[in-house]
Amino acid sequence: MTKEKRILLVGGGGPTGPIIVNSLIAEGHEVSVMNTGRHPVEYDAPVERIIADPNFLEPVQDVVSGRYFDTVIASYGRLRFVAQALTGHVEHFIGVTSTFYPNWIDPPATMRPSSESGVERDWTATYLDEGGAMPPETPLDPVGKFGQRVVETDTALQWAHRHGDFIGTVLRYPKIYGPRQPGATEWSIIRRLLEGRERIIVPEGGFLLQSILYAENAARIVLAAVADPDASGGQIFNCADPEPITLRKWIRLIAETMGKTVDMVSAPAAIARPAWPYARWPLTIGHHILDTSNLNRLNYTPVTATTALRRTVEWYLEDPKERGTAVESQLRDTFSYDLEDRILAQLDKAKSEIEAMDFPEFDMSHYYAHPKSADDGKPSKETSA
């Protein structure tokens, strides 16, 4: 039987929050939720709602004064401030960070439209050595000012664990998908198919593999970490669905769920600009695959990517106007079909012109012998002598 715990979730209003809170309630835990209160969410049962802005240190310090929690799940706000404020007020601190690994993040993805470049960086980041309490890892890469803050926070959580401030667990998320996810790239494809688009531009053939994470799977990982602090404490977990997925398969699964067919037209990433909003990391060319083997420590059963994506598409189709509109401002997808048609026409023209060129004949057969009898290929007497 699960021992009842006092658990604080910082956040609670995003795609994983309700799943986590409702599951903890069902297990009999005493749950509190801390956030700004600007986006209230109804849960399966009443919970304590703590109103504070977790983006700042002082408000969190004020509301946790005199309080103690068995577990804190920090999935929102400025995590370094939340961790600092909760030091001395929690036994097990689970912090959600991100995957700022080398060559993982496009530099523009770390910036607001009005901010400076962020590509050239003259700062340094200090990483824990491999002899620390948390496992050895690939050093993070602080791309842009936002990336610098993420890396500083990730490092601070490890430092706090090593120095006994709390039992620390670090969960590193890639891009999340699922119902209620802000800036959901699935909508870019769903809307195009709803509006009759039969051809969609994909960078590099859409064949680059990417680790992504279904919101419910993220919640299940959090719950498994809460349930077993002996297994999760002092650990860093890369969190992702078990199956990396290509953009090509991702689009095909969306189309199949909608009963649509779609022709995916390849273009080099640099000129596939209309695809950038839904291609996730279009400027960092290469496979983006996380090593998730450490999740084997946890009692965690994931939803398959095929099932997860089908559920996500069906959720949007229940109310496409309202739910699609809610994410479009964050997507920065212009849905400029005239522009896309012009690009497609140029790609078709280039393909036709190249196919019309006089290529040298190329033998497509394999390189192995085709013996017609048992004597074929035997060495001659002269050769054997």
Q: What is d(CA 268, CA 103) in angstroms, rounded to the nearest whole number?
A: 18
Q: What is d(CA 161, CA 192) in angstroms, rounded to the nearest whole number?
A: 47
User: Structure tokens of 305?
Assistant: 């990517």
Query: Is the Cβ–Cβ distance between 199 and 192 less than 8 Å?
Result: no
- Residue whose structure tokens are 């400076």: 116
Helix (H) or strand (E) holding 223: helix 215-227
**In a structure prediction context, what are the per-residue pLDDT tens digits for the chain, which is 385 residues long?**
567 899 999 998 889 999 999 999 999 999 999 999 888 889 999 999 999 999 999 999 999 999 999 999 999 878 889 999 999 999 999 999 988 887 777 766 665 544 443 433 332 333 333 333 455 467 787 777 777 888 888 888 888 998 999 999 999 999 999 999 998 999 999 999 999 999 999 999 999 899 999 999 999 999 999 999 999 999 999 999 999 999 999 999 999 999 999 999 999 988 999 999 998 766 777 888 899 999 999 999 999 999 999 999 999 999 999 999 999 988 889 999 999 999 999 999 999 999 999 888 877 777 777 777 777 656 666 555 5
Q: Which residues pair with 98 in a beta bridge?
A: 173
Q: Residues with Cβ < 8 Å from 162, sequence gap 6 or more?
A: 128, 132, 133, 134
- Strands of the sheet with 48-51, listed across from one edge: 48-51, 30-35, 6-10, 69-74, 90-98, 167-173, 235-238
Sequence letter at residue 216: E
Q: What is the dihedral of CA 97, 103, 109, 115, to 10 degrees?
A: 100
Q: What is d(CA 359, CA 361) in angstroms, rounded to the nearest whole number?
A: 6
Interval 193-208: pLDDT, tens: 999 999 999 999 999 8
- Residue whose structure tokens are 């069906």: 314
Q: Which domains does the chain have, with CATH numbers?
A: 1-173 (3.40.50.720), 182-211+242-289+303-354 (3.90.25.10)
Query: 291: how many CB neighbours lie within 10 A of its CB?
Result: 11
- CA distances, 25 to each of 8, 44, 102, 270, 300 (Å): 12, 8, 39, 48, 19
Interval 260-280: pLDDT, tens: 999 999 999 889 999 999 987
Q: What is the pTM of this model?
A: 0.86
Residue 331's closest CA among 255, 258, 266, 279? 279
